[in-house]
Chains A and B, each alone.
Chain A
Amino acid sequence: MSQDRNSPMHGVDTVAIDWALRMADPARADWDAFTDWLEADPGHAERYDRAAMTLLDAEQALAAHPDVPVPIEPEPVRRRPLRWIGGAVAAALVGAIGVTAWQDRPQPYAIETAAGQTRRIPLSDGSVVTLAGLSRIELDHAEPRRAMLSRGEALFQVRHDARHPFAVQAGAVALVDLGTVFDVRLGQQTRVAVAEGAVMVDPKGAALRLDAGQAVTVEGDRLIRSTVQPDEVGGWREGRLAFDGAPLGMVAEDVSRFLAQPVTVAAAIATRPFRGTIDLEAVRHDPAVLGPLMDVKVRRVASGWTLEPRE
């Protein structure tokens, strides 16, 4: 089992859910270990009951209504036009933040990283932003609950406060945290991925809620949902980049943030999907390792490296 979280009341109780799944699976059920876990804390039984009942009720609802269709393709969410945070959205947020923040003078500052560099930025409210390489974030000492990512990628570990939501403007997309760890990347595609808790994307428009293990990619005026492994979100901090079908162009863009010199992709294979995990340390040591991993030819060029189709 993963780490024992002591606050089952807050959000989703991942520990209890893991037990509920495990004990329903004859191949993995270990009743002695489960008894030990139950005996470790008198509150565990009820946490397990709640998780197990939630799953059983969902399953029974599905079993009782086999005609309820499951769309093969998740419908992309149509969005109303995005609004910049400086307008009506900011006014609404200021209302939530309260008078004191409003009276404080803005003390904006920006932090930028070079390629290959990452930077941990603790904020005065207890939240932490980790900035990937080749990235830029704009913050304000007077308003620690707001951030604008204007380039690159950042992982947000937000100290949740329902009365003072943490707002992120990522390019053209507005986000509000609902309690949480999430990653935002800008580039050819803007992507938001949630590791813990939840995030509201475009709160004034589509108001799409993302829970742990969910991600959204912004393409034009559409939000396209996908799934991610929660523990792979922000994996770049440990030197890991995991992809599940991202186009090579986007993969190269991501990898380049962590290298001194960029990796580019030949147009012919830029949209080819890639599935796998990249060890950044190995790539830093020798970018040629990308060759067998992605089934491409890695060629040294003046500015860095380029990925080309294999002959």
Chain B
Amino acid sequence: MPPTGLEAVFLANRDKLVRFLTARGAGDAAEDLVQDLWLKVAGRMDGPIANPLAYLYRAADMLMIDRYRSRRQAELREQDWAEGQGPEAPPGTERAVAARQTAEQVAATLAGLGERTATVFRRVRVDGIAQRQVAAELGVSISTIESDLRMAAHALAALKERIG
């Protein structure tokens, strides 16, 4: 039986996805990663997907972001070790406190941008509501939503620069 649905789209676009992963920083590992990608998405199938190719691309993209995050965390641990701060990650409670502080700083940064911008960021990026729908909820244009998101993202990037 020939492959159908997502698998057919995956097979038809495998080369494009490899090219994307290569450019995305995977280099020679792109061939291996495209296999990992398929195992991941195939095991997570639930319900029909409106745009299978975009779904595969985004999954590949997220895979690379996760790899970047792991790499960064490993680098930070090595740095702590080299600086004599100990190799241990903070114990559970400390980590929980730190996470809460991050949430508070993020919330305060967003609040500083004004109510609408903070709401737009939460609805679109945290709640995952479509931009068009958030625009309708708030009675503003899509371009206002986009500029609010951009403003929030810039402020969060600045926060990240500041607190590391």
A residues in contact (CB < 8 Å) with B: 11-14, 17-18, 20-21, 23-27, 29, 31, 34-35, 38-39, 45-46, 48-59, 61-65, 68-74, 198, 211-214, 225-227, 229-230
Contacts and interface: CB of A to CB of B under 8 A. Distances in A.
27 contacts: A12-B157, A14-B154, A17-B154, A17-B157, A24-B125, A26-B51, A27-B130, A31-B53, A35-B16, A35-B20, A35-B23, A38-B24, A39-B23, A45-B23, A45-B64, A48-B24, A49-B65, A52-B65, A56-B65, A58-B106, A61-B102, A61-B106, A62-B107, A64-B99, A64-B103, A65-B99, A213-B113
B125 A73 contact: no
A20 B19 contact: no
B69 interface: yes
Nearest to B130: A27
B156 A54 contact: yes
B32 interface: no
Interface string B129-147: 0111000000000000011
B42 interface: no
Contacts of B158: 11-12, 198, 211-212
B61 to A, nearest CB: 6
Question: Secondary structure at chain A's binding surface: helix, strand, loop or mixed?
Answer: helix
Nearest to B145: A25
Contact of A49 (B64, B100, B114, B117): B64
A55 B61 CA distance: 14
A48 to B, nearest CB: 8
Given A26-B51, A31-B54, A227 B114 contact: yes
Closest 9 CB pairs of A and B: A45-B25, A65-B103, A38-B23, A49-B68, A61-B103, A213-B151, A31-B57, A211-B158, A61-B102
Contacts of B40: none
Q: How large is the interface on B (under 10, 10 to 19, 20 to 34, 35 or more residues)?
A: 35 or more
Contacts of B131: 25, 27
Given A59-B125, A64-B103, A73-B115, 10 more contacts: A21-B153, A29-B58, A39-B23, A51-B157, A55-B156, A58-B156, A70-B110, A212-B158, A226-B114, A229-B147
Contact of A74 (B54, B61, B112): B112
Contacts of A29: 54, 57-58
